[in-house]
Amino acid sequence: MYVLVAGSVGALAASGAGTSASATATVGLIAGATMALVLALAPLVLFKPHARTLVIEPEGVRTTINGMTKDYAWMDILAVDGVGDRIVIQCANQNAFIVPPEAFGSSVERDEAFVTVRRYLQEGKSRETPQ
């Protein structure tokens, strides 16, 4: 799909330059293949293989990965949802933390954590919202 889109864009760009049809097709295919390669490799380059630690507190969420720490106040969190057996913490910056079931000792512990995180979110937002 991306190869076709990028190839079409490349072909349109080259066709306006007075080039032959075969040169236009070549440019389009090279552009499409390059775009497909970049899109295929991006997740591998951007993925962080290190273990991430989340600390959930009444003040917000603290994340640590590879020695780097960042704090998110509850105003920076859009929602906390249960998706299957995972807890998903959606951030305002379009990121999300997906907490797998393996992070908990049992499903009961996971359910208790989910209730606590939702309560912290609600309390944090009400505390930070001007009345």
* CATH assignment at residue 120: 2.30.29.30
Dihedral sign for Cα atoms in the order 85, 104, 76, 74: positive
> Environment class of residue 118 by beta-carbon count within 10 Å: exposed (0-12), middle (13-18) or buried (19+)?
middle
**pLDDT of 56:** 94
Confidence of residue 48 (pLDDT cuts 50, 70, 90): low
Banded pLDDT at 45 (limits 50, 70, 90): low
Number of domains, the chain: 2
pLDDT tens figures, 69-121: 999 999 999 999 999 999 999 999 999 999 999 999 999 999 999 999 999 99
Residue 87: both structure tokens together? 């807890």
Spatial distance between the Cα atoms of 20 and 88, rounded to a whole number of angstroms: 53
Domain match, 40 and 58 both: no
- The reply to whether the predicted model has a pTM over 0.85 is no
| Of residues 115, 53, 126, 66, the one with CA closest to residue 87 | 115
Q: Is the pLDDT of residue 22 over 70?
A: yes
114 and 58 part of one domain = yes
What domain range includes position 59?
Answer: 52-128
